[in-house]
Structure 1
């Protein structure tokens, strides 16, 4: 529980339950191994049934995804979806034109600023 309390508030305002997490396997009659995220790597993944709650299905928890086209070395090519914004980065001696690029399989918050000349070469 100390690992969980680090992430939220302490004391009686700390979350009573976190999750949901996937059950990997049953360990004995009353314990289960859970798939915890990397942020909870300091916590042992086996829990007694008294520490678990039944999951009630919620349609908002279902995530949609697009299948990635992986290469043989398990990498994939980023594809440009849309240019969201433009700006000029002013340095001492020069100015650099930039564009904010939204990539496929990424959220709007994950859009990156790229140089215009590099983007024209990659995506004419």
Structure 2
């Protein structure tokens, strides 16, 4: 059996602050925001209860009330930030039941047409 000797086992305790991992592919591909620029972790949630070493119960906000509050530890990342001012608000983020991040554009800022050899592509810059 092969094991990475440099791996760290992450342990959580009650009242730890964690980020929740979301899958960014649904809703953002249409507007071209993919890859490195998509947010992969949201929020700053506290742990209410630890069921076993792999499953924790989070204290989710009202924006994420439609999601079940029990998660595996592979979907969590421990918060290392001490200053609360560096944390983003969840009021603009939407997450569906399958933990997919859904982003909708606010407004269209600019349009341009890119010409290739045999076709033209409409490019839209959104905010």
Higher strand share: 2
Judge same fold: TM > 0.5, yes or no: no
Higher helix share: 1
So what's the TM-score if we normalise by structure 1? 0.39
Larger radius of gyration: 1
So what's the TM-score if we normalise by structure 2? 0.38
State the structure with bigger RCO (CA 8 A, min sep 6), 1 or 2: 2
